[in-house]
Structure 1
Amino acid sequence: MTGRAPFSVLHVCMGNICRSPMAERLAMRAVRERVGDKADDLVYVSSGGTGGWHAGEEMNPPAAREVRRRGGEDTGFAARKLLGEHVDAADLVLAATAEQVEYILELRPDAAGRTFVLGEFGRLLSEVNGAALPPYAPAPDLVYARGVALVEAVDQARDGQPPLAEDDLDDPWGRGDAFFARVADEIDATLQPLVAALLPA
């Protein structure tokens, strides 16, 4: 865990060309919508894949189209294989599926309290009382403290229970644009509330 600002979010899927890059870029779009040019100082978002088959490749074209359609940026992306050091540097790890959570925890068992299936995090986030979190101001140290407390609160809401099957994010690779749009909708359904809780207006 980084232990310092900016608050760091890591998205994980299999190949790092569809789900996790969409999540990475849609998260940054949501952060920029709230804090503008302060975004990079307050939140760092990255992604990786449990398999290294696509390392160095661009985002899958339909994923890139979906990111652009929603106002995000797809340029400058390069897929990478997830390493333990990427997990070490993250304050929150969001995986597309429970199977990928298991992979992450084999790499870094100590990351269990800050690693979730994306849909699981979104489901549990609704149980967190934002008023009980540290106060918000657009300053790196304050956002970092609020983010760490938010992750701890969601982990407490989890109460050791495993994720639900419906928390998994379907793999859209090789599917049509409508499938990618549905998956992007599901990603946004967690990321928009997450960013709103982290960076309240």
Structure 2
Amino acid sequence: MAPFSVLCVCMGNICRSPMAERLLVADALALGGTDADLYVHGAGTGGWHAGESMDPQAAKQVLSRGGDVSGFRARKLLTEHVDASDLVLTATIEQVEFVVALRPDAAARTFVFGEFGRLIRDVRLPLGLPDVYSRGVALVELADAARAGRAARAADELDDPWGRADAYFSRVADEIHATTKPLAAALFAR
């Protein structure tokens, strides 16, 4: 069985999406997850940082929350990244629109980060789903049904911390963790 694949998207792929990517992995590992169960990757809607390391302040937040920053390299979002993903989480509403313009068939599995976190609080996975992939696909379908065509809220967006103080990065990392922790818990519930 293929791993459940999550794509994290922001503007430059050096701050918000790398924090989301690496914090979700850390949360999954803490619950017994493996690479065979979950594949998390990221990209930016702009390619100007492609090949660069994670922003040092973003890396500091990931490390302070038990994540790993090694081997990270920013990349520009391509159609194949969306195609390879069961769930796409973006930092902003505008980035949802970018993803859906790139791949209209991804609309039902593309959410603003905070929107997805808000929606999954109220959904209950059916009992008996045999693996992480099945739980992930069901969770995305239930979250899409729960949003019922309503647009994401401005409050669902992750502010861009680039160039800001550590406290700003910390707040954004907290907002990311508010979604990655329940997502990992739903995927790896035993």
TM-score, normalised relative to structure 1: 0.92
**Where does the alignment leave 5 or more consecutive residues of structure 2 unmatched?**
none
RMSD across aligned positions (CA): 1.0
Give 1:139's aligned residue: none
Residue 140 of structure 2 aligns with an amino acid whose one-letter code is: V
Does residue 162 of structure 1 match 2:159?
A: no
Does residue 81 of structure 1 match 2:76?
A: yes
**Identical columns (%):** 63
Match of 2:139 among 150, 173, 190: 150
How much does 1:133 deviate? 5.0
Query: Take 1:32 and 1:6, find their aligned partners in 2: how far apart are those partners?
Result: 14
Q: 1:112 to 1:134 in 2, by over 3 A?
A: farther
Look up the SS of the partner of 2:77 in the other structure.
Answer: coil
Does residue 14 of structure 1 match 2:11?
A: yes
Note if contact 1:134-1:145 (Cα within 8 Å) is conserved in structure 2: no
**Where does the alignment leave 5 or more consecutive residues of structure 1 unmatched?**
137-141
Look up the SS of the partner of 1:157 in the other structure.
Answer: helix
Does residue 191 of structure 1 match 2:186?
A: no
Residue 168 of structure 1 aligns with an amino acid whose one-letter code is: E
Q: Which has the higher helix share?
A: 1
Q: Deviations over 1:57-92 (max 9, x none)?
A: 000000001111111011100000000000000000
Give 1:179's aligned residue: 168
What is the number of residues matched between the two proteins?
190
Give 2:25's aligned residue: 28
Query: Take 2:136 and 2:99, find their aligned partners in 1: how far apart are those partners?
Result: 20
Note if contact 1:62-1:180 (Cα within 8 Å) is conserved in structure 2: yes
Query: Take 2:171 and 2:154, find their aligned partners in 1: how far apart are those partners?
Result: 17
Q: Deviations over 1:67-123 (max 9, x none)?
A: 111110111000000000000000000000000000000100000000000000001
How much does 1:135 deviate? 2.6
Match of 2:129 among 130, 135, 138: 135
Query: Take 1:143 and 1:129, find their aligned partners in 2: how far apart are those partners?
Result: 15
Note if contact 1:11-1:24 (Cα within 8 Å) is conserved in structure 2: yes
How much does 1:198 deviate? 1.0
Q: Deviations over 1:101-160 (max 9, x none)?
A: 000001000000000000000011111013x25435xxxxx2111110110000000100
Query: Take 1:77 and 1:119, find their aligned partners in 2: how far apart are those partners?
Result: 23
Residue 123 of structure 2 aligns with an amino acid whose one-letter code is: V
Note if contact 1:134-1:149 (Cα within 8 Å) is conserved in structure 2: no
